């Protein structure tokens, strides 16, 4: 337990390094491009406009549970992108920084933390554009909008725990990063993002609700569209946190144990 507390103390003590690496990580995504960081704004704008044009203007999809479909879709998509970008980026981050880990002492556990914060910065831009869409579609402003910070925290803890596990294992089994991509695609289509869970038979709904991402996707919609408090689903909240904290702790322990061997296999 003492060594695990040191694991987290090192993350806190290197907070300045984390933020400088987040800045570098965001800048590196657009190195050599003409518009640079502007793409961080353009990508979500283009994505949302395309969804709006296809589903609202083109197919004229009917509202889902009283909400415009494009708003319902983008609310679920927004939080999924935080999760998938964090997990996918974290899974390969140890191997990608092998030169740094082999030559100097470096607190490798901060690398998935950097990816998590980078995803949150990108998400903040997407979220701002999404809020404009929500208000333009006539969805009234609600105090429950502020619940998104709770669900962002939920997603970050879940993704970081998984990121520690995958990044540590990928140092030894390089296929992990590719497998992660496949599993994220599977997870996207088995999470009610493009489709409504009410379409499924009641027996399947119970199984689908066991997906921890269902909790945060529905939570984002409850916050931005339906003005529903997170404490209205106490059982789902309990199950989510029991699973997430177990994953988070397991990820920290596994990373801590495998970290001394990174230099030998990279």
pLDDT, tens digit, 9 for 90 and up, residues 222-247: 999 998 998 888 999 999 999 999 99
* CA dist., res. 162 & res. 137, Å (int): 36
Q: Which residue has the higher pLDDT, 4 or 241?
A: 241
pLDDT value of position 223? 93
State yes or no: pLDDT of 31 exceeds 70: no
pLDDT value of position 64? 67
Per-residue pLDDT of 121-150, as tens digits, reads 889 988 988 888 888 888 888 899 999 999
Please give the C-alpha separations between residue 45 and each of 86, 125, 130, in angstroms, as whole numbers.
20, 9, 9
Average pLDDT, the chain: 86
Per-residue pLDDT of 42-85, as tens digits, reads 777 777 778 777 766 666 666 666 788 888 888 898 999 999 99
pLDDT value of position 69? 84
State yes or no: pLDDT of 194 exceeds 90: no
Please report which helix (H) or strand (E) contains residue 37, including its range. none
pLDDT value of position 2? 52
Task: Locate the domains of the chain by residue range.
Answer: 2-265
pLDDT value of position 1? 53
Q: Which residue has the higher pLDDT, 238 or 198?
A: 238
Residue 187: how many CB atoms within 10 A of its CB? 17
* CA dist., res. 28 & res. 197, Å (int): 38
- The model's confidence at residue 253, banded by pLDDT at 50, 70 and 90, is very high
Residue 155: how many CB atoms within 10 A of its CB? 27
State yes or no: pLDDT of 100 exceeds 60: yes
pLDDT value of position 247? 96
pLDDT value of position 175? 92
Average pLDDT, integer, range 181-200: 88
* CA dist., res. 42 & res. 71, Å (int): 18
pLDDT value of position 239? 93
Contacts 24+ apart (CB under 8 A), 54-59: none
């Amino acid at each position: 337990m003492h060594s695990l507390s040191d694991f987290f103390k090192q993350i806190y003590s290197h907070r300045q390094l984390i933020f400088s690496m987040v800045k570098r990580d965001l800048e590196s995504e657009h190195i050599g491009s003409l518009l640079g960081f502007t793409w961080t704004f353009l990508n979500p704008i283009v994505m949302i406009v395309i969804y709006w044009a296809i589903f609202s203007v083109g197919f004229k999809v009917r509202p889902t549970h009283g909400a415009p479909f494009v708003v319902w879709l983008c609310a679920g998509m927004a939080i999924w992108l935080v999760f998938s970008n964090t997990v996918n980026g974290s899974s390969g981050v140890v191997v990608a920084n092998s030169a740094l880990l082999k030559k100097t002492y470096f607190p490798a556990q901060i690398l998935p933390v950097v990816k998590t914060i980078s995803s949150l910065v990108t998400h903040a831009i997407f979220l701002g554009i999404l809020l404009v869409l929500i208000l333009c579609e006539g969805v009234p402003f609600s105090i429950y909008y502020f619940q998104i910070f709770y669900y962002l925290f939920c997603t970050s803890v879940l993704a970081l725990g998984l990121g520690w596990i995958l990044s540590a294992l990928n140092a030894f089994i390089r296929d992990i990063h590719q497998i992660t991509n496949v599993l994220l695609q599977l997870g996207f289509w088995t999470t009610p993002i493009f489709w409504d869970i009410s379409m499924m038979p009641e027996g399947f709904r119970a199984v689908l609700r066991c997906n921890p991402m269902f909790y945060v996707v529905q939570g984002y919609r409850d916050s931005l569209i339906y003005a529903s408090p997170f404490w209205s689903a106490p059982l789902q909240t309990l199950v989510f946190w029991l699973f997430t904290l177990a994953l988070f702790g397991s990820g920290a322990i596994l990373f801590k144990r495998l970290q001394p061997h990174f230099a030998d296999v990279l």
